[in-house]
Amino acid sequence: MSEESSNFIYDIIDQDIAEGKVDKVHTRFPPEPNGYLHIGSAKAIWINSGIAKKYGGLFNLRYDDTNPEKEDDEYVQSILEDLRWLGAEPTGGIFYGSDYFDACYEYAVKLIKDGKAYVCSLSPEEMREYRGDFDHPGKNSPYRDRSVEENLDLFERMKNGEFPKGAHTLRAKIDMSSPNMNMRDPAIYRITHTSHHRQGDKWCIYPLYDFAHPIQDALEGITHSLCSIEFENHRPLYEWVIDNIGFEKKPKQREFARLNVTYTVMSKRYLRNLVETGVVDGWDDPRMPTLCGLRRRGYTPSSIIEFVKTSGISKALSVSDMGMLESCIRDELNLCAQRRMAVLDPVKVTISNYPAGKTEYFEVSNNPTDENSGSRKVSFGRELYIDRSDFFITPPPKYHRLYPGNEVRLMGAYIIRCDDFVLDSEGKVQEIICSADLETKNSNPADGRKIKGTIHWVNAADCIDAEVRMYDRLFTIPDIADKDSSTYNDYLNPESIKVHPHAKLEASLADAGKDDRFQFVRSGYFIKDSRNPGVFNNIVALKDTWSKIRK
């Protein structure tokens, strides 16, 4: 596990405490309930909740539900589930941006009365034109000098629903020539005739995030508003709102680099498109970078937090390797996951010299790396299944598994030799006829001959049928986030899922619990699918083979 080291955010907080600016650290996580959280969200959650724990402070969950056109209670519930799954309990409470709609409205009225906000009647297209660009200053709206009385009247009528969407906005009166585009009289309220998931039809106007967020932070007593780096240029507006409303205790906004990961994207809009077009099996599809998808795939909260910690906290933009995330869960499961035998592509093996109807049991270790994991009994009978790839009629060079005339060790059991095989009408191997050296009951041959190959197997008499799903990267290129979003589909990996519908699993897996994770010998790590009890999902491969394949 990586050790926690100092970073610039800790330094800021340490200094604030030393200078007496802060008595009790209070942080928040403010997700918009318009989709499911993803691996990038885990970084913001860990930073904000982790800092509250580190300094003995409080951590709030606050839903940024100020845009009713995209929000849904389904997402509200999923966000809280994901936080608690990661161990980030909102110790300071659970809040909603909509809790503060009345306060935001009153503060907006205050700004109007103070001559610091006005109702603008420019269309969205005209506003963009008046705003200017990075090379040209903006120009004042022709409505900028409306009287306080007229602004108050129009703003109240906006609230009462007298105007259609887009007819007016309320804008902060700051500086249209500011080099910071966010300070060029930004809109702070817009008209939206959409029912809110909590407020119903009470409101026809909604505050924009840059106005509502600092107010919410101040009212909740947030000391450090920690957000991703794209809000750095919004910080002057954040501070303008706090200063001009007149809050005495002022939260401090500071920014950190987002968590980006190779071979995937973090755009909620695109992820939603994948779901709605049926490219993936819902938000929790195990190929998705969503936290619910990672949970369904079998990732643990500790492996995700370890990945976030390893990626580090800085202001520099970077992309973390998907292989590092996989390494975190692989290293964890290697130590704790029990081993089981599973045959993904089965072919029948008959042991011709083994008595029909006889069953015996072999003692097999649950985890060779953990001496405390114990062992289990695995049944053996006349008819078995092995993986089709463990048999060749005409083997390639240096092939040490089963082929006519060759011997292999059945893992934990006898040595067998292939004597014959049966083909079906299409020329595919249907059955392999073998004989067992019955003197090698989990021991070496008495005559000293060397057996080079060992293969896994299951007893046909009591194995269970299951579907096993193998997962790969969602995209074929690592830098997919650098591409234009309209071309994302061009890079979808057609082999991101491979289904083995007729797998045969060791009988003990019939009792697998929903949170039990196993190493299927020679295949990878797996967990029972949360939606389909007859399905096992591949969590991660035994080794990182992707980078080698792509070189």
* Residues labelled catalytic: 32, 258, 268
> What are the φ/ψ torsions at residue 180 (nearest 5 degrees)?
-90, 110
Closest by alpha carbon to 127, among 187, 179, 192, 189?
187
Q: How far is CA 107 from CA 114, 167, 211, in A?
A: 10, 22, 10
Q: For residue 271, give the amino acid letter.
A: L
Tokens 């071979």, residue located: 263
List, in order, residues 6 or more apart from 380 with CB less than 8 Å away: 359, 360, 361, 362, 413, 414, 459
Q: In whole angstroms, what is the distance from residue 425 CA to residue 431 CA?
A: 13
Q: Are 293 and 285 in contact (CB under 8 A)?
A: yes
Q: In whole angstroms, what is the distance from residue 320 CA to residue 264 CA?
A: 11
Neighbours of 212 (CB within 10 A): 26
Q: In whole angstroms, what is the distance from residue 8 CA to residue 59 CA?
A: 19
Structure tokens at 484: 């234009």
E strand or H helix that includes residue 157: helix 148-159
Neighbours of 511 (CB within 10 A): 8
The DSSP secondary-structure symbol of 381 reads -
Ramachandran area for residue 341 (φ above 0: left; ψ -120 to 50: alpha; else beta): beta
List, in order, residues 6 or more apart from 547 with CB less than 8 Å away: 323
CA 155, distance to chain mean position in Å, is 41
Closest by alpha carbon to 349, among 395, 394, 413?
413
Half-sphere exposure at residue 178, Cβ-oriented, CA atoms within 13 angstroms: 15
List, in order, residues 6 or more apart from 381 with CB less than 8 Å away: 354, 358, 359, 459, 460, 461
> What are the φ/ψ torsions at residue 386 (nearest 5 degrees)?
-125, 170
Q: In whole angstroms, what is the distance from residue 99 CA to residue 62 CA?
A: 10
List, in order, residues 6 or more apart from 150 with CB less than 8 Å away: 119
Q: How far is CA 516 from CA 337, 367, 499, in A?
A: 8, 14, 21
Structure tokens at 321: 């390797």
The DSSP secondary-structure symbol of 390 reads G
Q: In whole angstroms, what is the distance from residue 185 CA to residue 193 CA?
A: 24
Burial label, 335 (beta-carbon count in 10 A; 0-12, 13-18, 19+): exposed
